[in-house]
Amino acid sequence: MRSPYEELGLAFGDAAVPYLYGTDCTPALADAVVDRLGDVDTVLLVLDDGVRGHADAVAAELGRRVRVEAVAVEAHERHKTLPTVQHLLESAVARGLTRRSAVVAMGGGTVGNIAGLAAALLFRGTRLVHLPTTPVAAFDATVSLKQGVNLSAGKNLAGTYFVPALIACDLAWLSTVPRHDLLTGLAEMVKNVLVAAPALEAKLLRALDDLTLDPAAALRALLEIGVEAKAPYVAADPRERGGALIFEYGHTAGHAIEFVSGGAIRHGEAVAWGMLIAAEVARRRHGLGDADVAAHHRLVAPLDLPDAAARLDGLDRAAIRAVLAADNKRGYGPCAPGEVLMVLLDGMGHAVPGPAGGPPLVPVAVDAVMDAFETVAMNALEAV
């Protein structure tokens, strides 16, 4: 009998993590979670409050075989904090979790990070399962060991690296994401093509076209792009401190935009703006050619971004500068006051090398980043 789901094997250094995926396979995935956890006594289901329909179905299936304790989290940047993590830890202990228990995170990247950090801390590490329900989580965030939350100065300034026991995704969950959020969330796949897999551009554009006519096939193709591009890098660099830092492309300015907007500009959209800003910086500083800048716009155009001026003009420039100054990549290489480390490209699929053979991060004056920000904010986004 054919399995209702497929399995990919992800490697993070010496750690192997199975990734199960399919369409309309929730009961089978829930059974697989329990089977693969083995002697689990209780599951703490940390769920995005916005996906209760999917989560209720998962909880019911899990509950046939194991005790389930559900805790809902509002998936908003203002809740991606250490107090939220502490709330989960207190809830876990109060509800009787033990070292045989597991944390199951069901939602987008925000919930995955909050629950992932809680799992890493509970009893100094308890088993973690990711059930991603957004494209950012399914195709990018879970293909990483990073578990982080925000501090008052900026994004992802507190966290750790933690290996999940299992990742499982019913792609039907993703098809219920509002279309705008689905498209902007695919900015991470655009990033993958730009920095690591330019040969997959046609496959990406075809999948974006197919989202309406054949969403199941399109989502499978997008998952393949996410894993095919990123998996070799995280296998060799599981803590993403060397070559895998290329996947920070667009995130320096993007994180600042997302944070200063208070989450009103969500992660995928913010990264899309951040990539256009990075392309403008690289055009001026490292000779990124007009054709490659045009490729950025060509790939970002289908993501249904709002008008740049209307979206970015209201952001507090001084606050963006402050967040850039506290960016969490500081310390990976030389960076003077008034500079920020960025991943930049000098061609499709080729990052500008870091100083002295270090990681692919180059120091850029914050003024230069802000000049590029203003250029992007003034220009309407058009397909090229």
CATH of domain 180-378: 1.20.1090.10
| List of residues 6+ apart from 147 with CB closer than 8 A | 112, 113, 116, 117, 119, 120, 159, 160, 161, 162
pLDDT above 70 covers a percentage of the chain that reads: 98
Tens digit of pLDDT for each residue in 254-279?
Answer: 999 999 999 899 999 999 999 999 99
Q: Of the listed 61, 80, 146, 155, which one is catalytic?
A: 146
d(CA 112, CA 85): 11
384 pLDDT tier (thresholds 50, 70, 90): very low
| List of residues 6+ apart from 161 with CB closer than 8 A | 145, 146, 147, 238, 239
The answer as to CATH 3.40.50.300 being correct for domain 6-177 is no
Tens digit of pLDDT for each residue in 20-58?
Answer: 999 999 999 999 999 999 999 999 999 998 899 999 999
Average per-residue pLDDT in the chain? 94
Active site residue 155: no
2 pLDDT tier (thresholds 50, 70, 90): confident
Tens digit of pLDDT for each residue in 95-117?
Answer: 999 999 999 999 999 999 999 99
1 pLDDT tier (thresholds 50, 70, 90): low
Residue 351 clears pLDDT 90, i.e. is over it: yes
Domain ranges of the chain: 6-177, 180-378
Output the pLDDT for position 383. 38
Average the pLDDT over 119-148 and give the result: 96
**Helical pair 215-236 and 187-195, crossing angle rounded to 10 deg:** 50
| List of residues 6+ apart from 335 with CB closer than 8 A | 341, 363
Average the pLDDT over 134-146 and give the result: 95
pTM of the full structure? 0.92
Q: Are 169 and 132 in contact (CB under 8 A)?
A: yes
Active site residue 6: no
Q: Of the listed 61, 188, 248, 258, which one is catalytic?
A: 248
Q: Looking at the chain, how many residues does it have?
A: 384
Strand partners of residue 136: none
